C-alpha cells in the first residue's frame, strides 16, 4: 500500500518537475486560457452592432433624414458611405465596404403614409453569419418610429430569463471553461505516454515493478490541479471582464469541473495508449476536439441539431459539462438537480481509465 | 527465499525462439547462466542479443521455448522478477530534463524505497559511481561516460540479484570502459549475477563465460580461455613486406578460412585438418614470389568468433 503511494507520488512528482522545466508547455497552461477567453469573450458576439452601412436617399426629405438618424441611433449600423444611385450602392456591398445598404425611394414619404407598399428597401450582404438578424431589427425601425404604438403590439410578451441583456459573453464564457479544459487537458495526457516511448524512457519504466494503474494515476494527478487552476483563471476573467454571474454554488461548480477534468485526462491517456507518436496523439486529439466544439452546444443550440448529431454529442464529455456549467453559473442550479450529467461524466472517467489501463501493456511487443 | 531461488542457476532457457513476422530474430536458444558470474553475449548487430535480453527481462514474449529467471517462469512471473532485476537499456533511457539526483530519487520511489532508505541509497549511488559533482546537473547534459554511470547507478539502486546490461559501453571512451568493468566485477563479487551483451572482443574476454550469437543462433558457448583453446581452426601469423598482395593470393586458397591484416602482419585462420599450416602458407607465397615468414600463433577471441560464425571470408 505504501509502495503504491510512493510509486504514484514518484510519477506525479516527476511529471511536475518535467512540466515546470518545459517552458512552452508550462506557458500553455496559463496562456491558452487567457488568450482564448479574451478572444472568445471579446470577439464572438452574436448580438451584432455597428455594422458598416451605406444609404441611397432619393427622397431627401425630413422624414427620410429622420429614418436615417433613427437607424444610426439604434447602434445597429454606422453609415459610412452615401451612394448617388442604386448601382453604386450595390457595388459598395460587392466590394465589402458595407454590409448593409438602405434605399429610400423618391416617394418615401408618400409610401410611409400610404402603408400598402414597403416604404424603403434594405440590401444585405448575408455571406457572413448573423447579419440578416440585424436587417430584420432594422426593418422594424421606420414603423416603430412613425406609427402609433397600439398598432404594433406583439402577440406575446417576451421575458428573457438568465442573461436578460443578451450578452453573448455571458453564454460563451461559462462554456469556455469546458472548451479550454477539453483542449489543453486531453492534449497533455495524450502525449504523456507516447512521449516516454519516443524519448526511450518507457523501456526502463516497464522493466520496474510499477503497476499500470499506478503509472496512469500518477500521470494525471498534476493535471487535475492544473485543470482546477485553469478553471479559476477563466472564471475570474469571466466575472471581472465580462460580468458573468455566479448564480449557483462555487463548490458545485468545482465538483462538476473535477469530474470533467478527470474524464478529459482519462480520455487523453486512452489516446496515448493508442497512438505510436506524439504527432498521431495530437491528430487524434484534434479529431475529438472539433466535434466537441461544434456539437456540444457551445456554438449552436443542441436542440437545433439533427438527431444523429445529438446522439454523437451525448458521447462527448464536453456536452455534459457545458450543460452543468451553464446550469450552475447562469441558472443557479445545484449539482444535485443536475446530478445525472455529473454521473455521466464520472462514468466517462471510469470507462476511459479502465480502457487505458487495459490497453497499456508492460511489454515491447 | 525458497529453495528454488537458492539454486545455482540464475537464468535458464530452453528452445528460446522469437519471430518478427518472417524474420527469426532468436532461433532455438538454450542457455544456462550461473549465479554470481559475469556472463557475456557476444555478437554483431542483428545477432539477436537485444531480443534475447528483452525476453529474459520479460519485456518480449517468446514465440516458443521456456525461460526461468531467478526461479520465475516467464512471461508469467515477470512482475515478481522485476523487483529482483536491474536492467540497463541499450540507448539512454533516463529523463534528460531531470537532474542526476532527481532521476535516482524517482527510481528509488518506483522501487518503493521509503524516504530514509531512499536518501541513503541515492547518497551511496552518487558516491559509488562518482556522480556527486553532477548531482544537480540535468541528465541530458552529461558526457557519455557519466550517462552510462548514471544508468548503472539506477539499475543497481535497489540492489538487484540479477543485472542485465544491453551493450552498456557502446558510447563510452576506453578509460570509462575499464572503470565500468571494474564496477561489474565488484558487483559480481558481491553476489550479483551479471548478464552483459557486447560487440567488443576485449570486453567479451573479461567475462567468466560467453555465448557467441550469430543471426539468432547460439554458435559457441564456454569460458573464453576454453573457447580459444578448443577453436576448430589453426591460427597463423604472417610477416611480409607486401601484405596486400599476400592477402589477395592467400584468399584464393580454399583451406584458408579468413585472413585479416594488422599493419605488416597478416592474421590467418586455417582449417584444422590442414597439416603444418605455417609451412603450407610459406610455400604458397614463395611460389608467388612474395617474401614472407609464417608461424603458428595462439587464437584470440576474434578468431573464435570468426570460426564460430561459419568462416565467412572478409
Report the alpha-carbon distance of residue A4 to residue A209 in Å, rounded: 10
Higher pLDDT, A208 or A23: A208
Which chain B residues are closer than 8 Å to A206 by Cβ? 59
CB-based contact A7 B110, cutoff 8 Å: yes
CB-based contact B110 A203, cutoff 8 Å: no
Report the alpha-carbon distance of residue B42 to residue B211 in Å, rounded: 6
Place A156 in a pLDDT band, splitting at 50, 70 and 90.
low
pLDDT of residue A164: 66
Which chain B residues are closer than 8 Å to A6 by Cβ? 109-110, 112-114
Q: Residue-wise over A178-212: b if at least 16 C-beta within 10 A, else e?
A: bbbbbbbbbbbbbbbbbbbbebebbbbbbbbbbeb
Question: How much of chain B, in percent, has pLDDT values that exceed 70?
Answer: 96
What pTM value is reported for the model?
0.82
> For A211, which residue in chain B has the nearest alpha carbon?
B79
CB-based contact B89 A365, cutoff 8 Å: no
Which chain A residues are closer than 8 Å to B122 by Cβ? none
Higher pLDDT, B139 or B273: B139
Given a cut of 80, whether residue B1 has pLDDT beyond it is no
Report the alpha-carbon distance of residue B228 to residue B244 in Å, rounded: 27
CB-based contact A17 B102, cutoff 8 Å: yes
pLDDT of residue A158: 59
Q: How far is A353 from chain B (nearest CA, A)?
A: 21
| pLDDT, chain B, mean | 89
pLDDT tens profile A37-80: 888 777 766 667 788 889 999 888 888 888 888 888 878 888 98
Contacting residues for B18 by C-beta, under 8 A, at least 6 apart: B24, B25, B26, B48, B51, B52, B55, B60, B62, B63
pLDDT tens profile B16-28: 999 999 999 999 9
Contacting residues for B270 by C-beta, under 8 A, at least 6 apart: B233, B234, B235, B236, B255, B256, B257, B277, B280, B281
Q: Is the ipTM of this complex over 0.95?
A: no
Task: Write the residue in A14, A207, A364 that is nearest to B106 by C-beta.
Answer: A14
Q: What are phi and psi of B196, to 5 degrees?
A: -130, 135
Least confident of A161-175, B20-34, B250-264: A161-175
Given a cut of 80, whether residue A356 has pLDDT beyond it is yes
Which chain A residues are closer than 8 Å to B98 by Cβ? 14, 17-18
Task: Write the residue in B59, B93, B98 that is nearest to A14 by C-beta.
Answer: B98
Angle at which helix B277-287 crosses helix B243-251, to 10 degrees, equals 110
Interface test with B, best of A2, A8, A16, A208 (most B CBs within 10 A): A208
pLDDT of residue A47: 66
Q: How far is A204 from chain B (nearest CA, A)?
A: 6
Place B54 in a pLDDT band, splitting at 50, 70 and 90.
very high
pLDDT of residue A134: 73
- A6 contacts chain B (CB < 8 A): yes
Amino acid at each position: 500500500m505504501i509502495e503504491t503511494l510512493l510509486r504514484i507520488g514518484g510519477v506525479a512528482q516527476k511529471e511536475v518537475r518535467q512540466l515546470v522545466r518545459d517552458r512552452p508547455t508550462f506557458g500553455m497552461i496559463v496562456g491558452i486560457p487567457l488568450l482564448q477567453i479574451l478572444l472568445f469573450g471579446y470577439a464572438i458576439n452574436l448580438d451584432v452592432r455597428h455594422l458598416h452601412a451605406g444609404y441611397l436617399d432619393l427622397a431627401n426629405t425630413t422624414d427620410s433624414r429622420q429614418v436615417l438618424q433613427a437607424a444610426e441611433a439604434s447602434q445597429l449600423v454606422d453609415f459610412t458611405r452615401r451612394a448617388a444611385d442604386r448601382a453604386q450602392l450595390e457595388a459598395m456591398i460587392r466590394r465589402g465596404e458595407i454590409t448593409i445598404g438602405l434605399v429610400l425611394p423618391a416617394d418615401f414619404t408618400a409610401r410611409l403614409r400610404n402603408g400598402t407598399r414597403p416604404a424603403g428597401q434594405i440590401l444585405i450582404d448575408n455571406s457572413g453569419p448573423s447579419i440578416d438578424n440585424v436587417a430584420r431589427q432594422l426593418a422594424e425601425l421606420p414603423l416603430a418610429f412613425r406609427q402609433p404604438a397600439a398598432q404594433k403590439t406583439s402577440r406575446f410578451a417576451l421575458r428573457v430569463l438568465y442573461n436578460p441583456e443578451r450578452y453573448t459573453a455571458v453564454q460563451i464564457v461559462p462554456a469556455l471553461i469546458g472548451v479550454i479544459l477539453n483542449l489543453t487537458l486531453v492534449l497533455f495526457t495524450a502525449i504523456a505516454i507516447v512521449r516516454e516511448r519516443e524519448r526511450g524512457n518507457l523501456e526502463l519504466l516497464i522493466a520496474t515493478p510499477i503497476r499500470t494503474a499506478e503509472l496512469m494515476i500518477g500521470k494525471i494527478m498534476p493535471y487535475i490541479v492544473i485543470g482546477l487552476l485553469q478553471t479559476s483563471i477563466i472564471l475570474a476573467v469571466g466575472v471581472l471582464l465580462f460580468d458573468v454571474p455566479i448564480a449557483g454554488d462555487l463548490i458545485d461548480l468545482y465538483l462538476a469541473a473535477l469530474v470533467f477534468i478527470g474524464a478529459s485526462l482519462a480520455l487523453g491517456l486512452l489516446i496515448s495508449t493508442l497512438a505510436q507518436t506524439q504527432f498521431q496523439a495530437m491528430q487524434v486529439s484534434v479529431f475529438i476536439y472539433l466535434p466537441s466544439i461544434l456539437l456540444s452546444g457551445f456554438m449552436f443550440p443542441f436542440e437545433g441539431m439533427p438527431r444523429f448529431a445529438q446522439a454523437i454529442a451525448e458521447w462527448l464529455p464536453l456536452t455534459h459539462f457545458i450543460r452543468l456549467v451553464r446550469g450552475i453559473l447562469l441558472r443557479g442550479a445545484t449539482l444535485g438537480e443536475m446530478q445525472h450529467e455529473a454521473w455521466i461524466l464520472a462514468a466517462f472517467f471510469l470507462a476511459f481509465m479502465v480502457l487505458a489501463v487495459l490497453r497499456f501493456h508492460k511489454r515491447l511487443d | 527465499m525458497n529453495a528454488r531461488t537458492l539454486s545455482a542457476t540464475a537464468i535458464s532457457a530452453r528452445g528460446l525462439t522469437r519471430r518478427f513476422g518472417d524474420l527469426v530474430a532468436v532461433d532455438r536458444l538454450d542457455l544456462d547462466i550461473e549465479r554470481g558470474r559475469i556472463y557475456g553475449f557476444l555478437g554483431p548487430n542483428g545477432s539477436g542479443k537485444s531480443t534475447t535480453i528483452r525476453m529474459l527481462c520479460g519485456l518480449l514474449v517468446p514465440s516458443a521455448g521456456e525461460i526461468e529467471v531467478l526461479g520465475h517462469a516467464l512471461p508469467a512471473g515477470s512482475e515478481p522478477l522485476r523487483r529482483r532485476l536491474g536492467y540497463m537499456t541499450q540507448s539512454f533511457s533516463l529523463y534528460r530534463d531531470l537532474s542526476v539526483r532527481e532521476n535516482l530519487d524517482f527510481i528509488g520511489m518506483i522501487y518503493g524505497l521509503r524516504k530514509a532508505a531512499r536518501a541513503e541509497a541515492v547518497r551511496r549511488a552518487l558516491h559509488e559511481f562518482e556522480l556527486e559533482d553532477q548531482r544537480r546537473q540535468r541528465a541530458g547534459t552529461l558526457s557519455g561516460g557519466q550517462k552510462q554511470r548514471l544508468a548503472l547507478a539506477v539499475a543497481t539502486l535497489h540492489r538487484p540479484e540479477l543485472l542485465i546490461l544491453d551493450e552498456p559501453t557502446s558510447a563510452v571512451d576506453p578509460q570509462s570502459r575499464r572503470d565500468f568493468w571494474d564496477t561489474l566485477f565488484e558487483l559480481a563479487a558481491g553476489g550479483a549475477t551479471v548478464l552483459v551483451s557486447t560487440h567488443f572482443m576485449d570486453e567479451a574476454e573479461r567475462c567468466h563465460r560467453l555465448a557467441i550469437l550469430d543471426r539468432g543462433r547460439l554458435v559457441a558457448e564456454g569460458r573464453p580461455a576454453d573457447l580459444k583453446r578448443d577453436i576448430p581452426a589453426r591460427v597463423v601469423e604472417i610477416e611480409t613486406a607486401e601484405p596486400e598482395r599476400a592477402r589477395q593470393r592467400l584468399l584464393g586458397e580454399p583451406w584458408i578460412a579468413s585472413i585479416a591484416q594488422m599493419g605488416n602482419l597478416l592474421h590467418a585462420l586455417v582449417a584444422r585438418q590442414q597439416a603444418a599450416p605455417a609451412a603450407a602458407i610459406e610455400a604458397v607465397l614463395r611460389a608467388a614470389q612474395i617474401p614472407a615468414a609464417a608461424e603458428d600463433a595462439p587464437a584470440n577471441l576474434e578468431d573464435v568468433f570468426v570460426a564460430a560464425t561459419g568462416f565467412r571470408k572478409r
